[in-house]
Structure 1
């Protein structure tokens, strides 16, 4: 009876039906609270749901029943790594390697734990490469090499490793996501947006991929923000020259600035949008509802662009008023971006 229930739970986990698997395992543990396999499977459910304190509790309960379980040590290490307790994670991963020296998953866990300690990342890369030697047909071994290499700044190695993981498993959401992160680091915004969208499509439950789609949204706004600021500054200089009588009113030149700004802005949106899947486009359009600061930045940017275009087309005093409106819109957008940056910094040090 229990064996059938455990097999069914494993199938549900492979299908990423975490809550159904968790409910089934709760029934198993109610009948047999000392079932190590059930506790380990429950830890995997918590991992899939991003519930790392629950994952840690389940793994530690399994270890109280069987301290020699390499599986439980490995799961404990993963949970501790996600919770930022890297020294403890390394200890559990080393125990998993000691207990199962031929299991590539233990080496992946150890490399991942060491990757959280900057001074041990070279060692982490060595363990990750050993995992590849043990299991070259497993995408997660190549992915782990890529993950550590990216932290070390070895982008070419990271790129090759993520692509190797995708050759072995084309729907590997984490590899797709991290390839997109490399594109973002290299300034390839459209390619990064496409990659993050593919990661979300591959694993709709991935909160990391969704957060990275948000990052792309912010990065695109900042880039458009800089275009608008440069155009507004150039337009202001033209207006000052015209007011001083150095050159004529410069209406044609100002109109060119406005058209150039609007064209550049629209081209950026269309080029990036063309690389996104429809679900990701819808996700980004709803981002202002999820993040008010994003809404303020997007709205301020829109006001700034429209104000700059108006200033380029209007004569005299109305043009100066449009410049003021554009500047205020871009200032609000800049302040929203700065507040978000401070919020991310606080979250990262909390």
Structure 2
């Protein structure tokens, strides 16, 4: 590969700083001096791509290929410009030419795997009219693309894009074991890879026996690594909401404890106690309810990491359903306290309070299960 002209080197440094307009001006100046500078044409093409102008990028690639029809980077630029313009189904000839020119470079193999995979799925859908593909069909249609992806991985064991394409193909084909291995490799190459991190965190959070608190902490840890991930932020909100939903069960349990103490529904076998219930018994019921909340909510909340505790407060400010859950828990607890702590002489009002605390809460426990908060 030829040495870069100092002006092209300067433009490349500006591109790395995302100052593409300034880089484009420098490259235009360089090309006015020497229209045969292939590297300048390629850099200019990527400036256009970064400006979301694939047409101009393709034109720059064509100019570079006029100077050197077998320039690998110019061929890749032409392929990138084409796929940015929804040309995945027509890009294969360019990528195969790039592989012929540089058979040991992994990127063209990875792009070709992507293009072959997409074309096979589109062709199958057109031929069969299928709107959804089974895992078996996906596996069969992905074999050629998977072979190309494996070749890209062989040529570039540290090449991130090859791992991403191989993972996409393996995941679509239902090969979860290979997909997990590829995710681990992606995170070894790039520990902050948002998609792989989100997938691995979600897998760990959904494992059997992992509760809402553990899931929330897993997502909080992942967000500390990749704070810009919207996917993991949503999952953290969902796990936090599951934590808040658990408070309603505690409140319902307290309502049941209070109702059992007063025996709001007496029978011949279990007649109602003499009213009012002695103060010692009422205080003991209060102790039991405090223990329920201490071990069921407060102790758990205090053990949560700071990031999760902050998200609990944040979700309460942002999420309508999160506030609904907390209000319902407070309402049920208020009913439980009124039943247990006031010296009732008649069962009619405790019975009313029992149903008032139980029914509105229990009616929505299943309804809002899939809410995000």
Unaligned runs of 5+ in 2: 122-132, 274-280, 340-349
The aligned length equals 304
| Equivalent residues of 1:225, 1:301 under 8 A apart | yes
Aligned to 1:206: none
> Which residue of the other structure, out of 301, 305, 319, is the alignment partner of 2:329?
305
1:182 aligns with 2:203: yes
Whole-Å separation in 2 of the counterparts to 1:336 and 1:39:
49
Aligned counterparts, 1:14-93, within 5 A: 14=16, 17-18=17-18, 20=19, 22-28=20-26, 31=29, 32=31, 36-42=41-47, 45=50, 54=52, 56-57=54-55, 59-63=57-61, 65=63, 69-76=74-81, 79=84, 88-92=87-91
* Alpha-carbon spacing, 1:148–1:322, altered in 2? closer, same or farther (3 Å): same
Aligned to 2:237: 218
Alpha-carbon displacement from aligned partner over 1:139-169 (angstroms, at most 9, x marks no partner): 4433433343334343332222222233344
| Segment of structure 1 superposing worse, 250-259 or 3-12 | 250-259
| Equivalent residues of 1:142, 1:161 under 8 A apart | yes
Alpha-carbon displacement from aligned partner over 1:283-315 (angstroms, at most 9, x marks no partner): 8865677xxxx5212222222333344344331
Normalised TM-score (structure 1): 0.65
| Equivalent residues of 1:225, 1:330 under 8 A apart | no
Cα drift, residue 211 of structure 1: 0.9
* Alpha-carbon spacing, 1:244–1:136, altered in 2? closer, same or farther (3 Å): same
Cα drift, residue 121 of structure 1: 3.9
Aligned counterparts, 1:1-350, within 5 A: 3-14=5-16, 17-18=17-18, 20=19, 22-28=20-26, 31=29, 32=31, 36-42=41-47, 45=50, 54=52, 56-57=54-55, 59-63=57-61, 65=63, 69-76=74-81, 79=84, 88-92=87-91, 95-101=94-100, 102=103, 103-113=105-115, 117=121, 119=138, 120-184=141-205, 186=207, 189=215, 190-200=217-227, 209-224=228-243, 226-228=245-247, 230-231=249-250, 242-245=263-266, 256=288, 259-260=291-292, 263-266=295-298, 273=305, 276=307, 294-315=318-339, 316=350, 317=352, 320-323=355-358, 326=361, 334=368, 337=371
Cα drift, residue 134 of structure 1: 1.0
Whole-Å separation in 1 of the counterparts to 2:142 and 2:293:
45
Whole-Å separation in 2 of the counterparts to 1:169 and 1:10:
23
Unaligned runs of 5+ in 1: 47-53, 201-208, 341-350
| Equivalent residues of 1:43, 1:75 under 8 A apart | no
Cα drift, residue 215 of structure 1: 1.8
| Equivalent residues of 2:332, 2:357 under 8 A apart | yes
Structure number with the higher helix fraction is 1
| Equivalent residues of 2:82, 2:91 under 8 A apart | yes
Whole-Å separation in 1 of the counterparts to 2:371 and 2:325:
11
Normalised TM-score (structure 2): 0.61
- Between 1 and 2, higher relative CO (CA 8 Å, sep ≥ 6) is seen in 2
| Equivalent residues of 1:180, 1:196 under 8 A apart | no
